[in-house]
Structure 1
C-alpha cells in the first residue's frame, strides 16, 4: 500500500524555520527519524520510507507554496496514488499553536497552497493535516506572521508537536483516516 505525504512549505534558507514551512519541518523530522534522505525530483524533494508494510512517499514541493498543486498532481500520477491515500500537511492560523487537526476534505481557508492543490487535483476532497501556528498578528499582518520564524517558546515545544504530527501520519497510513481523526483531533 502506497501513501503520498506532502508537506507544504517554501524552499530557501529565508523560509526554513518559518510557520509557513511546518509541512517541510514535519517531513524533515520524519525522514531523519527513519534514516531517509531527500533527493531532488521533479517539482519536489522526495524520499520513501517503509512503515508497517506501507510505503510512504514524502514530498516537499519546490514550486513554492502557491504552486504546490503542480507537485502534488505530478507525484500522485507518477506513483498512481488515489486521493484517499494523499495527506497534505499545512500550517493553519485558525488553530492554536501546536494543535493538529486531521480532515477528510475542506476548503482552502484562504491558503494559497491548498487552493492550488484543489485546482489541479479536482476539488477539496483530499485528506489534510492542519498544524496550528496560532494567530498572534495584528490586522493586515498575516503574511508577515506566517513567514516569520517561530518564537523561542514555540521552538521549545516544536519537536514534541512535530512528533505528535508524525504519530498522526503513521496512524493515517495504518488505521485509516477516521480512526486517526478520533485519536488526534
Structure 2
C-alpha cells in the first residue's frame, strides 16, 4: 500500500496558489485513477483506490501547511505503512516553474510543511516530489509569494509539470522509484 500526500492549504482562497501544487497533483491522480478524495479522516481529505495493482490512499491534509505532519503521523500510525511507501508532493522555490525533482529521502530544507512531517514522523526516509514554483522577486515577502497565484505565462508549463509529477508517482508505484527518478528527474 502507498500513501500519497499532497501538501497545501485548505480553503478557496488558497486554490491555484504556489503553495498548493501538492493538492493539485492529488487532484490529477484522483481524476486519472477514478479515486474520489472526499472522505474526512486523519485531519485530511482522503480517497482510497488502486493505481496499477497497488492499493493507494490519496491525502490532502486539512491542518494547514505548517501542521501537515499531524495528519501524516495519524495516517502512518493507523495504516502501519512502510516509510518508503509514503510519497509527499510539495512546492519548491529553489526549482523554476516547469521542473520537478524526485528524491528517496532527505531533509525538509526551508519547507515548513516538510519540517512538520519529519518532526512528527521522526524519520525522513520517504520519497518526495518537489515541484518548482520559482523564487520570489528581490524584496518580495516569501509567505505572500508562495500564497500567490501563478503568472499567466507560468500556467502552461505548470500544468505540464503537475501532470508529469502525477505520471512520476504512478511510475514509482508501478516500476519503482529508481526508474521513476531516471525518467523524470533532469
Q: Same fold (TM over 0.5)?
A: yes
> How far does residue 140 in structure 1 lie from its aligned partner after superposition?
5.0
Query: Aligned ranges for residues 1-185 of structure 1 at < 5 Å?
Result: 2-39=1-38, 40-139=40-139, 141-185=141-185
Distance 1:140 1:77 in 2: 39
1:130-171 Cα shifts (integer Å, max 9, x gaps): 001111422352111110001112222332211101110011
Name structure 1 gaps, 5 residues minimum.
none
Task: State the SS of the aligned residue for 2:148.
Answer: coil
**Is 2:102–2:181's contact at 8 Å kept on the other side of the alignment?**
yes
**Is 2:104–2:128's contact at 8 Å kept on the other side of the alignment?**
yes
Task: State the SS of the aligned residue for 2:9.
Answer: coil
CA RMSD, 1 decimal:
1.2
Structure-2-length-normalised TM-score: 0.94
**Is 1:31–1:49's contact at 8 Å kept on the other side of the alignment?**
no
Name structure 2 gaps, 5 residues minimum.
none
Distance 1:124 1:16 in 2: 28
Runs of 4+ in structure 1 deviating by more than 4 angstroms, as ranges, are none
Structure-1-length-normalised TM-score: 0.95
Q: How many residues align?
A: 184
